[in-house]
């Protein structure tokens, strides 16, 4: 091993006896064969350790390069710390970077203000700035992406031009290429997102299948795991797990809205609410297993002004007989079974319940073109 020490270092002529210290201003430490071989300036400090570390630098500009060929092509870059074999090898003018690990940011040329740590972290980064990549292959394919934070094994691995993302957890956002302003937290969170933007996925496998959907918020394990659409808010373990092409839905509660493969503008609140809702649209399900069997996107609400026991609903219901209603007033819920006689579905309301208005909802598909609804003193009905 060759050892080259700049003459200013340890030179007793620079000993300041009045202050009892060694003045190391304008000094260099070059340790290793051809380390700092082309340096010809003594107006800055630098530490170059390792075979051909900072070899091309004519002025080391306050850089610290440690490892085989670390900072090899350094030219006008300043204030960098590169530690590891081949780390920052091609950096020429990028400054204020901290690169630690084997083959970290090897292709960097002009990047600035980055912190990259881990085997092959930020390997392809050329000009990306203000990034933090921590973990094996974190941000490996980033080229120009800026202001990203990737923490964990292969987080943001395929990110190429995506900006302002935060991915934390093994492989979270691993396949993101151009998506911006995303926050993925959790193991495999947003794994397949490529161009989706402004998403928040929190929890293991949350948003796992999303590729280009935007403006989603999924919080909980497996929330929105198979969803590929936009504008949804799912909260709770397995909420919307199998909901695929759904837009502008709010699903909250454990197992809520697990299976509406297609649907829009639904609100499902409560454990297992809308769990088997199928292809529902424009529904509101509130409570444990509310709307569990709804499957075609139309529901009826009958508004009554009496406590009549003769509410009759003649509806085209896709031959379903497992009808349930929800009777609601002042935070009290009652479940009833409909009786089917000659195509007329009837519900009997308790005579001793002095409610002035009944809100009765059929949790089953209704075809409004083939249905009639009647009840003594009926205010009307609403299909939604």
Residues 279 and 312 both lie in one domain? no
CA 364 and chain centroid, separation: 35
Over range 296-318, report the average pLDDT. 40
Residue 202 sits in the same domain as residue 292: yes
345 and 264 both lie in a single domain: no
Residues 263 and 313 in one domain: no
Tell whether 351 and 310 lie within a shared domain: yes
Binned at pLDDT 50, 70 and 90, residue 102 comes out as: very high
d(CA 291, CA 249): 15
286 with 340, same domain: the answer is: no
Residue 245 lies in a domain: yes
Q: What is the dihedral of CA 119, 180, 98, 185, to 10 degrees?
A: -60
Bridge partner list, 304: 358, 378
Give the mean pLDDT of 266-287: 74
Total-model pTM: 0.72
Could you give the CA distance from residue 280 to residue 292 in angstroms, rounded to a whole number?
Answer: 11
| Residue 294, token pair as written in the block | 């709804």
Shared-domain flag, residues 261 and 351 = no
Last residue of some domain: 256, 275, 297? Answer: 297
Boundary-marking domain end, from 297, 313, 331: 297
What 3-state class would DSSP assign to 62?
A: coil
The pLDDT score that the predictor gives to residue 95 is 95
What is the residue-averaged pLDDT of the chain? 76
Supply the DSSP string of 293-319, one letter for each residue. T--SS--EEEEESS--S-EEEE---TT
Which residues constitute the domain of residue 260?
195-297
- Kindly report each contact of residues 206-212 with a partner whose C-beta sits within 8 Å and lies 24 or more positions away, as own/partner: 209/244
Share of the chain above pLDDT 90, in %: 52
Residue 353: its pLDDT value, please? 41
Q: End of a domain among 297, 313, 330?
A: 297
What was the pLDDT predicted at 227? 93
- Which class for 205: exposed (0-12), middle (13-18), buried (19 or more C-beta within 10 A)? buried
Average pLDDT value for residue range 64-77: 95
d(CA 329, CA 346): 20
Lowest-confidence region among 44-48, 127-131, 284-288: 284-288
At residue 269, the pLDDT reads 85
Q: Is residue 275 part of a domain?
A: yes
- φ and ψ at 236, to 5 degrees? 125, 145
Q: How far apart are CA 54 and CA 66, in angstroms?
A: 9
Considering the domain boundaries, does residue 26 fall inside one?
A: no
Question: Once rounded to an integer, what is the mean pLDDT over residues 109-117?
Answer: 96
> In the 8-state DSSP scheme, what is residue 203?
S
Cα–Cα dist 271/41, whole Å:
70
The answer to whether residue 242 sits within a structural domain is: yes
- Residue 160: which pLDDT band, with cuts at 50, 70 and 90? very high
- 307 and 253 together in one domain: no
Rg for the chain, CA atoms, rounded: 33
Residues with Cβ within 8 Å of residue 20, at least 6 apart in sequence? none
What is the percent of the chain with per-residue pLDDT over 70, rounded to a whole number? Answer: 65
Whether residue 248 is found in the same domain as residue 280: yes
Report if residue 172 sits inside a domain.
Answer: no
| CA 221 – CA 242 distance, rounded (Å) | 13
Q: Is residue 348 part of a domain?
A: yes
Answer whether residue 354 is part of any domain.
yes
Assess whether 213 and 288 both reside in one domain: yes
Count of structural domains within the chain: 2
Please check whether residue 272 is in contact with residue 254, taking contact to mean a CB–CB distance below 8 angstroms. yes
Residue 303 tokens, joined: 């508004």
Question: Are residues 292 and 304 located together in one domain of the fold?
Answer: no
* pLDDT for 280: 63
Confidence band for 243, pLDDT divided at 50, 70 and 90: confident
What is residue 81's predicted lDDT score, i.e. its pLDDT?
97
CA distance 239 to 321: 28
Name the band, by pLDDT with cuts 50, 70 and 90, for residue 65.
Answer: very high
Band (pLDDT 50/70/90 cuts) for residue 274 is confident
Give the confidence band of 43 by pLDDT, cuts at 50, 70, 90.
Answer: confident
How many helices and strands (H and E) does the chain possess?
0, 30
Instruction: State pLDDT tens for residues 327-342.
Output: 333 333 333 334 444 4
Please check whether residue 377 lies inside any domain of the structure: yes
Domain check: are 363 and 274 in the same one?
no
């Amino acid at each position: 091993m060759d050892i080259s020490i700049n003459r200013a270092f340890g030179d007793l002529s620079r000993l300041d006896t009045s202050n009892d210290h060694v003045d190391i201003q304008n000094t260099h430490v070059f340790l290793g064969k051809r380390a700092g071989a082309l340096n010809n300036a003594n107006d800055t400090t630098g530490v170059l350790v390792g075979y051909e570390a900072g070899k091309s630098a004519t002025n080391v500009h306050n850089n610290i390069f440690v490892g085989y060929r670390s900072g090899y092509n350094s030219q006008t870059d300043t204030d960098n710390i590169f530690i590891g074999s081949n780390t920052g090898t091609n950096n020429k003018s990028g400054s204020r970077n901290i690169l630690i690990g084997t083959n970290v940011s090897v292709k960097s040329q002009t990047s600035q203000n980055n912190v990259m740590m881990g085997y092959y972290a930020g390997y392809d980064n050329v000009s990306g700035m203000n990034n933090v990549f921590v973990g094996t292959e974190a941000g490996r394919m980033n080229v120009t992406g800026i202001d990203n934070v990737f923490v964990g094994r292969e987080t943001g691995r395929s990110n190429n031009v995506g900006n302002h993302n935060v991915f934390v957890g093994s492989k979270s956002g691993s396949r993101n290429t151009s998506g911006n302003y995303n926050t993925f937290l959790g193991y495999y969170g947003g794994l397949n997102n490529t161009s989706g933007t402004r998403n928040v996925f929190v929890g293991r496998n949350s948003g796992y299948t999303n590729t280009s959907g935007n403006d989603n918020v999924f919080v909980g394990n497996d929330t929105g795991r198979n969803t590929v659409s936009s504008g949804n808010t799912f909260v709770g373990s397995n909420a919307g797990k199998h909901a695929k092409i759904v837009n502008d839905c709010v699903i909250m509660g454990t197992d809520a809205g697990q299976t509406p493969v297609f649907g829009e503008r639904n609100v499902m609140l409560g454990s297992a609410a809308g769990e088997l809702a199928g292809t529902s649209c424009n529904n509101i399900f509130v409570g444990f297993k509310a709307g569990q069997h709804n499957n075609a996107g139309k529901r009826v609400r009958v508004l009554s002004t009496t406590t009549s026991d003769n509410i009759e609903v003649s509806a085209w219901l896709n031959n379903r007989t497992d009808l349930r209603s929800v009777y609601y007033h002042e935070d009290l819920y009652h479940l009833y079974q409909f009786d089917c006689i000659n195509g007329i579905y009837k519900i009997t309301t308790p005579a001793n319940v002095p409610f002035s208005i009944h809100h009765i909802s059929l949790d089953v598909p209704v075809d409004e073109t083939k249905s009639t609804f009647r009840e003594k003193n009926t205010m009307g009905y609403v299909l939604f």
